[in-house]
Amino acid sequence: MQRQLAFEDEQRIEAQLRRIFELMKDGEPRTLAEIREALGLPPDAAVSARLRDFRKKKCGKHKVELFGRPLIGKGVFAYKLTVNPLHPFLPPASSSQR
């Protein structure tokens, strides 16, 4: 039962990674709320975690920049993904592929 839950969690995270990558690979800065709304994803914390994942070697070591958005509101930031041309996006392999 626990293995099944872990496998389902990995699949959910991989799907989020792929969807966020497809949206963000254009290099346009977006807030967490804009990303979440565009993709219908869960809370901002999940989106933020996936953006941090893109910096990891297993996800391509892409560049994720953070910009302030003073016109929107204090504490609101936009994220910009710059795709690493030497390392295409590769989500971590799920346990079914190990």
Average pLDDT by stretches of 10, the chain with 98 residues: 75 91 94 93 87 92 86 78 84 49
Give the model's pLDDT for residue 76: 83
Per-residue confidence (pLDDT) for residue 98, from 0 to 100: 38
What pLDDT score does 30 carry? 94
Task: Determine the pLDDT at residue 95.
Answer: 43
- Here the tokens at position 90 are 């590769």
The CATH number fitting domain 2-84, selected from 1.10.3720.10, 3.40.50.720, 1.10.10.10, 3.40.50.880: 1.10.10.10
pLDDT given at position 1: 63
Tokens describing residue 45 = 């914390």
Domain layout of the chain by residue ranges: 2-84
Q: What is the pTM of this model?
A: 0.80
Give the pLDDT score at 35. Answer: 95
Q: Under DSSP, is residue 77 helix (H, G, I), strand (E, B) or coil?
A: strand
- Nearest alpha-carbon partner for 29 in 75, 73, 74, 63: 63
